[in-house]
A and B are shown apart, each in its own frame.
Chain A
Amino acid sequence: MADKTVTSTRKLTIAKSMAEAISQEMGRDESVLVMGEDIAKLGGVFGNTGGLLDAYGPERVRDTPISETGFIGAAVGMAAAGMRPIVELMFVDFFGVCMDAIYNLAAKQSYFSGGRVACPMVLMTSVGGGYGDAGQHSQCLYATFAHLPGMKVVIPSNAYDAKGLMLAAIRDPNPVIFMYHKALQGMGWLGTVPGSIVPVPQEDYEVPIGAARVVREGSDVSLVGLGATLHHCLDAAASADNDGISAEVIDLRTIAPLDRATVIASARKTGRLIAVDDDYMTCGVAGEVIASVCESGTKLKAPPIRIAHPDIPIPFSPAMEHFVLPNQDKVKAAIKSVMEAAR
């Protein structure tokens, strides 16, 4: 029982909690294996597979050639054959070389087999910028994946959700794209939002896929975020408190399937809606959130606002990158705007 006291206060980074979830599930289910570039000896460029090679050996923890089409395609065949592969696409920006295996094979395996062949695979992939890595290593591409049917897409904003979503993802009989945001990953060399490092229970638990969470209750305005932007929303909400504005904050956690009901209920309560998304603006998740609320017939007191990355490549120079990325000041300004519009 002493353990329990320790574990309940033990804080982990998202990287460590992902690795813990994978390790625990590999111990429980021998059909689980991990494949990807630099995931074995290195433990993952972003730390999410640390310790697995030592624990489970090279047959189940495989460093791959730089060959995403090959090994992600192989994962689809493995999943059809009853294994539960977890594959890593190091940066989501690299999807261009392997998308067929993802959206034409994995995502359609159940459909094309009339529900007779499952595709239990997890594709882990890092997203997000803000650290000067420019336009081929900083994208989010949430909407690109969420747009395509047949796969689920999750993105944790903290280590607790990361572990629970990972366990749920591995056990899901469908392909799950597990996005993890580099600004939250907890790598020493990358800088980390402190709010992502939270207590993580040692034991096995799942965070349900498809369920958003109201992380902060409020009555004046609903702020909807995901991954890193959730933290912008929380910071802006704390600041709004000082101005006597009560902001509710929702963490989407899953973007496919999208938990529209939770967002609509919140908007119905507060009458004001701001959606914050660091993917490209047009046809994006923030727009989808707003459309869902509008279609529900919810009467808003002010026009909804979306904050997202503009429809331009992500620039390298910090002077430009931070100008275009969402941040808490942009959320604060939007709160001000919807509150004033209502007066």
Chain B
Amino acid sequence: MSKIESNRSHRLWMYRNMVKSRAFEDAVKSAYFEGKQPLFNMANGPIPGEMHLSNGQEPCAVGVCAHLRVDDTVTATHRPHHIAIAKGVDLNRMAAEIFGKESGLSGGRGGHMHLFDPNVNFTCSGIIGQGLGPAVGAALAARMKGSDAIAVAFLGEGAVNQGAFHEALNLAAVWKAPVVFVIEDNAYGISVAKRQATAVERNADRAVGYRMPGVFVPGNDPDAIYEAAGEAIAHARRGDGPSLLELETTRLEGHFIGDAEGYRPKGEVAALRKDDPIPRFRTLLEQDGVTASELERIEKEADAAVDAAFDFARASSLPPGEAAFAHVFFEGNRSWPTRP
């Protein structure tokens, strides 16, 4: 494949996953409000609990995951859907999990903040900064097994003030673990603006403290993220150790659905929506010669995949109450995992 063709192919892959992620989140949002109107009660409706949407952050997920293989590990955050989709998590089972159904990734035991798909080595956790240690461990395990697989830990910019961030970066550097730490900087930790919470302007600067490369990527631009992530991931795969990426991105929704967002300056969200990364990328692709009909086909396919996932989720059964007692302990083969 020529460079131009390869370039075109990964860009279309990124676009496909961005629109699929957006379609998924829009579908989640609409289903989430079922049973919650006119009176909003988080416990009601087919999707109870907190819901953190990733609209606006799609470039981070696709720019990084475009370089990943199935055997690379990703640990994501409480806002995980865009990353899960870009990593190739089973869309049907993920939707079913969010609906708390028996056919969900964990049979409804985890919900949207605790998605595990071992087929593509994806996990996430609802506790800020706590996916970083496991990513270092997954990276190290790959190296000890003689594989060149790597791990990527996603985190929000708010997580850099957790001890876990500093411990994981130091440990990864000391042990030269093949891991990439990816900060999605959406400017807010729930309601607290980054400038109120973080002493430095650029979190990428913190990489110096752990003797690893640190790169800031402005603009929420999938192409730029793709490029920076490619270098960091190649660095890890070559055995040269960890890197830190700081990706500027945008949160187009509240922290959770139902968040009144009174803490955001007037007009901020409207302005960000005007600069939505998905239409922006679409325009670029068109300028570079991708036809409108091809883009429409991609969009239709994404919608269809999401519709199918939601149909699957809605048609699936709720688990019986007693199912809560299963899998507290791993009941499978003692010699986990089945080694070749």
Contact = CB atoms under 8 A, between A and B. Distances in A.
Nearest to A30: B144
A62 B333 CA distance: 28
Nearest to A97: B163
B337 to A, nearest CB: 5
Contact of A67 (B134, B167, B328, B333): B167
A76 B136 CA distance: 10
Interface stretch (A46-54, A169-177, A272-280): A169-177
A133 to B, nearest CB: 25
Given A104-B125, A104-B130, A111 B109 contact: yes
Interface in B116-156: 116, 118, 121, 123, 125, 127, 130, 132-142, 144-145, 151
Contact of A73 (B116, B118, B130, B142): B130
Nearest to B93: A114
A74 B123 contact: no
Interface string A66-108: 0101111111111111110100000000000100110011001
B45 interface: no
A75 B167 contact: no
Contact of A100 (B75, B123, B127): B127
Contact of A105 (B134, B174, B326, B339): B134
Contact of B133 (A65, A70, A115): A70
A31 to B, nearest CB: 8
A73 B144 contact: no
Given A65-B174, A71-B171, A76-B134, A118 B337 contact: yes
Interface in B170-184: 170-171, 174-175
A2 B94 CA distance: 61
Contacts of A149: 328
Contacts of B164: 69-70, 73, 100
A113 interface: yes
A77 B135 contact: yes
A81 B142 contact: yes
Interface string B299-326: 0000000000000000000000000001
Q: Which of B118, B167, B171 has the most CB of A within 10 A?
A: B167
B216 to A, nearest CB: 24
A146 to B, nearest CB: 14
Contact of A81 (B73, B104, B130, B170): B73
A256 to B, nearest CB: 10
B174 A73 contact: no
A3 interface: no
A61 B217 CA distance: 38
Given A82-B336, A117-B116, A73 B330 contact: no
Contacts of A67: 167, 170-171
A64 interface: yes
A119 interface: yes
Given A65-B170, A173-B332, A110 B130 contact: no
A150 interface: yes
A94 to B, nearest CB: 13
Interface string B35-51: 00000000000000000
Given A104-B130, A116-B118, A110 B330 contact: yes
A33 interface: yes
A82 B331 CA distance: 16
A77 B136 contact: yes
Q: Which of B121, B137, B142, B175 has the most CB of A within 10 A?
A: B137
A116 B90 CA distance: 14
A112 B331 contact: no
B75 to A, nearest CB: 7
Contact of A113 (B106, B130, B163, B333): B106
Interface in B57-112: 73, 75, 104-107, 109-110
A234 B109 CA distance: 44
A111 B328 contact: yes
Contacts of B332: 115, 118, 173
Contacts of B134: 73-74, 76-77, 80, 101, 105
Given A110-B328, A115-B330, A150-B329, A69 B123 contact: no
Contacts of B337: 82, 118
A330 to B, nearest CB: 36
A73 B137 contact: yes
A85 B144 CA distance: 12
Contacts of A97: 163
Contacts of A59: 144
A120 interface: yes
29 contacts: A59-B144, A60-B144, A67-B170, A69-B168, A70-B136, A70-B171, A74-B133, A74-B134, A74-B140, A77-B134, A77-B135, A77-B136, A77-B140, A78-B137, A78-B141, A80-B137, A80-B138, A81-B73, A82-B336, A85-B137, A100-B164, A104-B125, A111-B110, A112-B109, A114-B116, A114-B327, A118-B330, A119-B330, A150-B329
Cβ-closest 6 pairs across A and B:
A73-B133, A77-B137, A77-B134, A70-B167, A74-B137, A114-B106
Given A73-B136, A77-B75, A173-B334, 15 more contacts: A70-B136, A73-B168, A74-B134, A74-B140, A76-B137, A81-B141, A82-B337, A97-B163, A105-B130, A110-B327, A113-B105, A114-B104, A114-B106, A114-B116, A173-B336
